[in-house]
Structure 1
Amino acid sequence: MTFAAFSGRPPRRARAAVLALCASVLAVAACATAGGGGNDLVLGLAVPLTDGAGQPDVYGVRSRMGAQLAVDELNAGNLFGGRTLALRIVDDKGDPATAIAVADSLVQDRSVLAVVGHVYSGTTIQAAQKYQGHLPAVATSATSPEISKLGEWIFRVASSDSANAVALARAANGMGRRIAVLYSNDDYGQGLARNFASALRAAGGGVAAMDPFLDDTDDFRPYLRRMQSRGVDLVFVAGLQDPAARAIAQAQEVGLAARFLGGDGIEGLAAMGARYDGTAVGVLFHGQMSDSARAFVQRYRARYKEDPDSQAALAYDAVRLLARALQQGHRDPASIRGWLEGVGAREGGSPAFEGVAGSVAFDQNGDPVNKRFTLGVIRGGGIVLPEAGR
C-alpha cells in the first residue's frame, strides 16, 4: 500500500468510514505520544494518523489501535523482567517528506529500540534512508517491491506485490476474458500494476487497457467508456479505496458490465455500501483465515467495539514480533536487527513468528517468505473468503 501526495480532495478515506473513526481517534488519544518512563522498553510507531487535510487517516488510526492492543496484552503478561513496553507514536501524515522528518526524530531518540512502520510504501521508502544503520524498522502494510531493495535494516510483515500480483493475476484469468488495469500513479499502484500485468502475460493472458490515475481523480468515465468499447469484462484496480469507489460507481453509471478486482488497498470498500458487492479483493488478513485470527478478532472487538482490518492485524503482529526479540534479551537496535534477520532461517536462526495475519519468516531482503495472501469477495458489508471455515 502507498500514498500519493495530497492535492485538493482528502485522499485515501472513505467518507463514512472517517466519520465512524472519530470516536476511535478519541479512544486512542492524541496524534503524537512520547514513550513512558526510564524503565520502559520503547518502540517507535510511525503511522499516518492524519491526512493532508488534517482529518483522521483510516489506515493509520487502525494501525495504532492494533499496535496498542498488542502492547497492553504484552504488558499484562509481565514478559519483560519487570520492565514495561511503550510506544513512541509519530504521525507521518502519509507524506514522504514528513516521514523522513519523523524517522529522523526516532533515530535521534536514544530510548527508541526499533520502529513499527511505516504503513504506506512511499513513506517507508523515504524513511528507510534515516533508519539504515541506526534503527531496525518493521513496515506493516507497505507492499511495493521497491522495499525489498532498501537495505538490511528494513523488514516488513506484509508480502510484496511481486508475490501478491501472481495470486491476483491467477484469479483474474479465471474471472475475465478481456482485462483492463486502472492504477494509482505512485509507488504502490505502479508496482502492483506492473507486476500484475507481467504475471498475467506469464499465465497466457494480456491487458486490454492500462490507465493511470491520481488519488483525487474525480472522473473515470473516459477510461470506462473506452473499456466498454473494447469489451472489457474485468477491471483490475491497483490503488486505494476512495478512487476505486468512484470508478466502480461511475462504471455502473455508464453501463460497463465488468467485475472489479483489486489488492489490499481497496479492502475498505466492504464498509461503503451494497453497490460494491461482488468486488473481489486480495487481503493480507481476514478474521476467518485461522484460529489465531478468529481469537484476535474477538479480543479486538471487545476492546474497540469494531472488527479489525489488515492494518490493525499487521501492526499488532509487528509489535509482537519485536517484543519477541526483547523477551529474548535483545535490547539494543543492532542486536534486534540481527535477531530479525534470523527469524525463520534454516540455520542459526530462530523459529518463524506465528502472527494473527500468518507466519513470518524473513528472506535475505527482509520480506516474509510465502506469506499468506488470499482472495475474498465483498458481500453484505464484509469480505467473504471461499475457504472460510476450513
Structure 2
Amino acid sequence: MQFKMIPLVGALSLVLSGSALAQEQVVRIGSVAPTTGSDSHMGKDNENGVRIAVEEINAKGITIDGKKIKLQLLAEDDAADPRQATNAATKLVDARVAAVIGHLNSGTTIPASRIYSNAGIPQLSPSATNPKYTQQNFKTAFRLVANDAKLGGTLGEYAVKTMGGKTFAIIDDRTAYGQGVADQFAKSVKASGGNIVATQYTNNKATDFNAILTAIKAKKPDIIFFGGMDAVGGPMLRQMRQLGINAKFMGGDGICTGSLPGLAGTALGNDQIVCAEAGGVAENQRKAVDDFRAKYKKRFGNDIVYTAAYAYDATYTVVDAMKRANSVDPAKFLPEIGKSNYPGVTGTIAFDANGDIKDGMLTLYTYRNGKRELLTVTK
C-alpha cells in the first residue's frame, strides 16, 4: 500500500538555554471525539485521557533523535456525525499531526480512517468497536478494545446460558456501532438457543420510544437488548418502566457508563441491567486503573465516564513507538506501533495483523443502588 506522506511533522523552533542553542520540536497529537451533542460527556472523556498523557509526557521530558520533544494536543469535535468527522480528519491532516487518538463512535471512526490512511497518519481508536474499522486493511488503523463480534457474542451467550433468557427483543439506533453490536448479539442468541420475538429500530437522537416499546410489550420478551448509547438508553429505560415492561435490559459499552444512572433515574432498578464494556483489566491491573481514576478526578474534578484510560494508553503507545523508531516521522514510527508491547494502565497494548488489540478483555456489569457493579471480566 502506498501512502501520501506528510513531509514535515509538527513545527521546529529554536530555544536559547543559557549560552547553548538547543532544538525543541513540537509534535502535534490529534484527538477527535464528540464534544458537543448527546455523546459529548463520552467524547470529552476521551479527550481528557489524551490530555493527561500529553501533560505527563511533557512534564517528564523526552528526547528523540537528539531533539527535545514537546507534544501539542489538537482537539477536534466531530459531534458524532460522519460528515463532521471527515472534515475534522482533513483538518488534522492539514495541521500535520503525527498521530490521531480517536474517534469515539464507529460511525465516525470508519469514514475518517480512509483520510488518515491516505495521509499515512496512525489512528488509534480507544472505543470504536465495529469490526469493519480494522477490516479495511489500512495499515494506519488500530483499536485498543475488543470489537463488536466479541462483545455482542459474549453478551448473547451470557443472556441465554447465564441469565436464562428464552425470548428477546432487539432495538438498535441504526448507527454503525448500534446496528453492529445488535446484529452480533442476535447471532449469538440464536446460536445459543434463544428466540428473538421482536426487532425494532430508532435513531441516536430519539426521545420518544412509546410506539416501539408498546409493540415489544405485546411480545412479552424476557430480555430487551439495545444497540446504542446511554443518552438514548437512559430515557428508553424510563419509558419501559412507565409502560410496565419489566424485562431485563441489556446493551454494549455504549450504555455501560457511569452516566447511565442519572439518565435512567429510578428506572435503573437493581440487577435489571446487564451490559458489557469493550475492555477491562485483570486483577493484577486493578491498582493501576484505580490510580488513574484518582489522577483523572484530581485533574478534572469528575469521575471517568467511559474510555479515558484507553485514550491515555493510546497516547503513550504512540510515543513509545516514536522512541523505538527514534523518529517523530509517521513513516518511520508507524511500523513500530504494529510491533507494540506497551505496558499500559489497561494492560499490555499489542496488536494483531489487522490492528486489533490482542487478547482484548470484556467486562460485564450490572447496576445496584444507582451504581455500576462488576459482574465478571472475561477474554
Within 5 Å, give how 1:138-177 maps onto structure 2.
138-150=124-136, 151-173=138-160, 174-175=162-163, 176-177=165-166
1:326 deviates by: 2.0
The 8 Å contact of residues 225 and 249 in structure 2, kept in 1 or not, is answered as yes
Cα distance change, pair 340–147 in 1 and its aligned pair in 2 (3 A): same
Cα distance change, pair 225–191 in 1 and its aligned pair in 2 (3 A): same
Structure 2 residue 369 is matched with structure 1 residue 380: yes
Equivalence for 2:312: 316
1:285 deviates by: 5.0
- Amino acid across the alignment from 1:339: E
Equivalence for 2:277: 283
1:213 deviates by: 0.7
1:36 deviates by: 7.9
Equivalence for 1:254: 243
Deviations 1:291-335 (A, max 9, x none): 211111111122122221333122111111111112222311122
SS at 1:359's partner residue?
Answer: strand
CA separation in 2, counterparts of 1:336 and 1:382?
A: 42
Within 5 Å, give how 1:229-378 maps onto structure 2.
229-266=218-255, 267=257, 268-272=259-263, 273-277=265-269, 278=271, 279-284=273-278, 290-328=286-324, 329-343=326-340, 352-378=341-367
SS at 2:63's partner residue?
Answer: coil
CA separation in 1, counterparts of 2:159 and 2:39?
A: 33
1:93 deviates by: 2.2
Structure 2 residue 109 is matched with structure 1 residue 124: yes
Q: Give identity over the alignment, percent.
A: 30
Equivalence for 2:181: 192
CA separation in 1, counterparts of 2:207 and 2:55?
A: 42
CA separation in 2, counterparts of 1:168 and 1:238?
A: 12
CA separation in 2, counterparts of 1:226 and 1:377?
A: 26
Cα distance change, pair 102–218 in 1 and its aligned pair in 2 (3 A): closer
RMSD of Structure 2 on Structure 1 (CA): 2.2
SS at 1:116's partner residue?
Answer: strand
Equivalence for 1:104: 90
Deviations 1:218-244 (A, max 9, x none): 332232233322221111111111221
Equivalence for 1:30: none
Cα distance change, pair 203–359 in 1 and its aligned pair in 2 (3 A): farther
1:284 deviates by: 3.3
The 8 Å contact of residues 280 and 361 in structure 2, kept in 1 or not, is answered as no
CA separation in 1, counterparts of 2:39 and 2:198?
A: 34
Query: Tell me, which stretches of 5 or more residues in structure 2 are unaligned?
Result: 1-9, 14-24
Displacement over 4 Å in runs of 4+: 285-289
Q: Which moves more between the two structures, 203-212 or 272-281?
A: 272-281
SS at 1:308's partner residue?
Answer: coil
Cα distance change, pair 263–320 in 1 and its aligned pair in 2 (3 A): same
Q: TM-score, normalised by structure 2?
A: 0.84
The 8 Å contact of residues 50 and 315 in structure 2, kept in 1 or not, is answered as yes
Larger Cα-atom Rg? 2
- Amino acid across the alignment from 1:61: K
The 8 Å contact of residues 45 and 116 in structure 1, kept in 2 or not, is answered as yes
Structure 2 residue 47 is matched with structure 1 residue 58: no
SS at 2:365's partner residue?
Answer: strand
1:160 deviates by: 0.8
1:127 deviates by: 0.9
SS at 2:183's partner residue?
Answer: helix
Equivalence for 1:28: none
CA separation in 1, counterparts of 2:304 and 2:327?
A: 30
CA separation in 2, counterparts of 1:270 and 1:325?
A: 39
SS at 1:331's partner residue?
Answer: coil
The 8 Å contact of residues 183 and 238 in structure 1, kept in 2 or not, is answered as yes
The 8 Å contact of residues 286 and 293 in structure 1, kept in 2 or not, is answered as no
CA separation in 2, counterparts of 1:241 and 1:307?
A: 16
Structure 2 residue 34 is matched with structure 1 residue 43: no
CA separation in 2, counterparts of 1:280 and 1:46?
A: 29
The 8 Å contact of residues 197 and 206 in structure 1, kept in 2 or not, is answered as no
CA separation in 1, counterparts of 2:139 and 2:345?
A: 25
- Amino acid across the alignment from 1:317: D
